[in-house]
Structure 1
Amino acid sequence: MKKIISFQIPKSNKEFVRFQVDAGKHFYDKLHQHPQWQLTWIKEGKGQLMVGDYLGRFEKGDLYLLSANMPHVFRSDAEFFDPDTDKQSLGNTLFFDFEALGKGLLEVEEFAGLHHWLQQTKGSFKVLGKTKESILEIMEDFKDYQGLGKILAALHVLQALQEGNSLQGLNKLVPQKDYTETEGKRMGQVMSYILSQSQNAIGLQEVAEVANLSKEAFCRFFKERTGKTFTEFLTQVRIHQACQLLQESDWTISQIAYHCGFQNLSYFNRAFKKAQGETPKEYRSKMSYQ
């Protein structure tokens, strides 16, 4: 059995569901994975969610479901790492350890539907609509549940997740195998470097050295795990940062482009329209009316 990336949920070996509160200036900022399923409610904070081949924004009020062994990081925005900031991040998470139930219990007839759903549901998802609302009501009070009450509340959550079309799939590519610990650490170092340095000029040789690989080996390694080339991924990171600034700052489009690492304004406009389906100016105008 392969080792997982160095991160483990502090728990007993026989705990089916664990409720965890993450509170502080920013969320845990290292790419990691674990065998437990994860349901995370962002109560405060914002940033970039990276999970598998998906990269997108997370905001206050979002609810995400991650199946087992999905490499992920909720990377808080840079402002949350400022030692002088009074901004806070807060997340409530349920971790489900289905292995703790044992194979026998999942084979019980009443669990057949859940077992089938677990087999079919792979990757990461954003939970939407009435399902999200009903789950958040349960999660709000989850810390107060004990024993059978906690089990029943967890089963209500799982039942809600299976109903309707409330899960918006985020991944195009779901990995068929888990990372080894070495691969996980390497990918974590690469992602951390890209996210922290994306506003600067980053060359392929530079990031390959972070991974301690040749350029050719790094390109294969990165494409296999993200479904994107390094350049495609870096551009996507920069576009996401630009989207945030277009909404939250009064900087000019040119200032935003150069701040996010684009050295050419016309290229920024083309890349942005390709990614978002509209120009930066159109995007900002639309967002100002929402």
Structure 2
Amino acid sequence: MKAPLQKSRIPDNKAFVIREMNDPYFDKHWHAHSEYQLVAILRGSGTRYIGDHIKPFKEGDTVLTGPGLPHVWRSDNAYFNPENGLDTHGIVIYFPENFLGDGSLQKEEFEEIAKLLSYSARGLEIKGETKEKVIHMMKEMVNMQGVPSIVMLLQILHLLAESTDLIPITQVKYSYIHPTPEKDKMGDILDYILKNFKEKITLQEVSSMANMSESSFSRYFKSRVNKSFSDFLGDVRISNARKLLQDEDLNISQVCFESGFPTLSNFNKQFKDRIGKTPLNYKKEYNEHF
């Protein structure tokens, strides 16, 4: 049996850990851990999965997640081919609730930060001017040690606690309460979907891969991402389409087939149902805005 993924980065003699990531691709494993996590993507692109939410990510994506919230920043498939010469860069901070000592967040002085950390149970995307300030502070913090680094972390959390630039990520009722060893199986399933979403993927195929019946797999999958397998696969394809419509000089038909949709009419319908506008209007609005 595979050992469960252990994602804690905090040794017993440290209050928290900050790490600068310079790798060919970001960790592709869907996982959760007992610490809070603040991550800033400085270089790289792909698809971000947090709880029941899927969204493309690129440079500047900055997120605070609470303990136990499963997530992965999965790099685009191109990053896994060394011949493409791509790499990624990011900064991540892991910290426990008691990084200032047991019971510290129950003190009056930390009331606003405690509220922020409570809200992070849904994951919080950081936008606007706050995001730019947080990224700048995280870059400075990489080279800090001792008390100055703790002071900077508090300053970041204070900034976030007072900001209106935070957007909740998962749905209000989403929760993940499953044992750690099961995350390996879910991670393998997600990785397979992300490698092969441009092709036809059937429920029978992924159920067999998980060594489950189709009905058992459907219940298993929905309990973990809060949506059916077919809805999730559709969301993956729509997420890829949004990315291509934003960043690639492709026509709508090319985006449709590069994202795994069988027909243009099916693509247009699914895109409008999920995004609220046609692919063409989405592309026009994005180009006008940026």
TM-score by shorter chain over 0.5: yes
Equivalent residue number for residue 31 of structure 1: 30
SS at match of 1:263: coil
1:186 equivalent in alignment to 2:160 = no
Q: Give the 3 Å change call, closer, same or farther, for CA 257–158 of structure 1 in structure 2.
A: same
Amino acid corresponding to residue 74 of structure 1 in structure 2: W
Q: Which whole-Å CA distance do the structure 2 matches of 1:250 and 1:125 have between them?
A: 31
SS at match of 1:65: strand
SS at match of 1:38: strand
Report the Cα offset of residue 191 of structure 1: 0.8
- Contact 2:41–2:58 (Cα < 8 Å) also in 1: yes
Q: Give the 3 Å change call, closer, same or farther, for CA 233–173 of structure 1 in structure 2.
A: farther
Q: Give the 3 Å change call, closer, same or farther, for CA 80–172 of structure 1 in structure 2.
A: same
Matches within 5 A, 1:1-290: 6-173=5-172, 175-289=174-288, 290=290
Q: Which whole-Å CA distance do the structure 2 matches of 1:20 and 1:226 have between them?
A: 28
CA deviations on 1:218-272 (whole Å, 9 max, x unpaired) are 1111112212111111011011111222233333322322222111221111111
- Contact 1:5–1:179 (Cα < 8 Å) also in 2: no
Report the Cα offset of residue 174 of structure 1: 5.2
Q: Which whole-Å CA distance do the structure 2 matches of 1:112 and 1:287 have between them?
A: 39
Report the Cα offset of residue 168 of structure 1: 0.3
Amino acid corresponding to residue 218 of structure 1 in structure 2: F
Deviates more, 1:59-68 or 1:107-116: 107-116
Report the Cα offset of residue 182 of structure 1: 2.6
Report the Cα offset of residue 173 of structure 1: 4.8
CA deviations on 1:73-110 (whole Å, 9 max, x unpaired) are 10011221222112221001111122444433334443
Q: Which whole-Å CA distance do the structure 2 matches of 1:8 and 1:152 have between them?
A: 25
Q: Which whole-Å CA distance do the structure 1 matches of 2:278 and 2:263 have between them?
A: 15
- Contact 1:5–1:32 (Cα < 8 Å) also in 2: no
CA deviations on 1:126-180 (whole Å, 9 max, x unpaired) are 1122322322221111022211111111111111111132210110155445321
Q: Which whole-Å CA distance do the structure 2 matches of 1:229 and 1:286 have between them?
A: 30
Report the Cα offset of residue 125 of structure 1: 1.2
SS at match of 1:103: coil
Uncovered stretches (5+) of structure 1, i.e. residues with no partner: none
- Contact 2:98–2:105 (Cα < 8 Å) also in 1: no
Q: Which whole-Å CA distance do the structure 1 matches of 2:259 and 2:107 have between them?
A: 53
Q: Give the 3 Å change call, closer, same or farther, for CA 285–213 of structure 1 in structure 2.
A: same
Q: Which whole-Å CA distance do the structure 2 matches of 1:92 and 1:49 have between them?
A: 16
TM-score (norm 2): 0.92
Amino acid corresponding to residue 115 of structure 1 in structure 2: A
Amino acid corresponding to residue 89 of structure 2 in structure 1: L
Q: Which whole-Å CA distance do the structure 2 matches of 1:90 and 1:214 have between them?
A: 40
Uncovered stretches (5+) of structure 2, i.e. residues with no partner: none
Q: How many residues align?
A: 287
Q: Which whole-Å CA distance do the structure 2 matches of 1:9 and 1:276 have between them?
A: 36
TM-score (norm 1): 0.92
- Contact 1:5–1:180 (Cα < 8 Å) also in 2: no
Q: Which whole-Å CA distance do the structure 2 matches of 1:244 and 1:162 have between them?
A: 31
- Aligned-residue RMSD, C-alpha: 2.0
Amino acid corresponding to residue 160 of structure 1 in structure 2: L
Deviates more, 1:274-283 or 1:112-121: 112-121
Amino acid corresponding to residue 75 of structure 2 in structure 1: S
- Contact 1:175–1:225 (Cα < 8 Å) also in 2: no
SS at match of 2:142: helix
Identity %: 32
SS at match of 1:141: helix
- Contact 1:14–1:100 (Cα < 8 Å) also in 2: no
Report the Cα offset of residue 53 of structure 1: 0.4
